[in-house]
Amino acid sequence: MRRSERLASVLSFVSHPLVLVGVVVLLLFGLYEHLLEARIFRPVPEGEVAPVVHKLLDHGFAIGLEVVVLGFALQFYKVAQGRPLVVPSADRAAATAQRNRERMLERGGNAGT
């Protein structure tokens, strides 16, 4: 496998929306923890926000990690089924051209009757 093919394979796993969202959540909550430690932010008292928000702040890093793992699991599931992770643009263009051709033929066939 060439280097570009390996890179494309890795990027197709990393580019899943759940993986990207999970990484953003991990970064945000990782920064939040560091900002608390540096005393730039103060901890949110339980009475100021809804209990759900407080739980999210307490467990946000774990939630982000779980979302990343779920995104990777979905990508591995696709691979296990033999489905391509990313459809090459040439295949997509050919499929679109074929659909357009079929639509044109249908319209032309209906106009003559």
| Predicted TM-score of the model (pTM) | 0.51
Highest mean pLDDT among 43-47, 50-54, 58-62: 58-62
Predicted confidence at residue 36, as pLDDT, reads 81
Q: In this predicted model, what pLDDT tens digit does every residue of 70-110 receive, in sequence order?
A: 888 888 787 777 766 555 566 667 778 888 888 888 888 66
The answer to whether 22 and 64 are in contact (CB under 8 A) is yes
Sequence spans of domains, the chain: 3-82, 88-113
Predicted confidence at residue 61, as pLDDT, reads 77
pLDDT at 18 over 60: yes
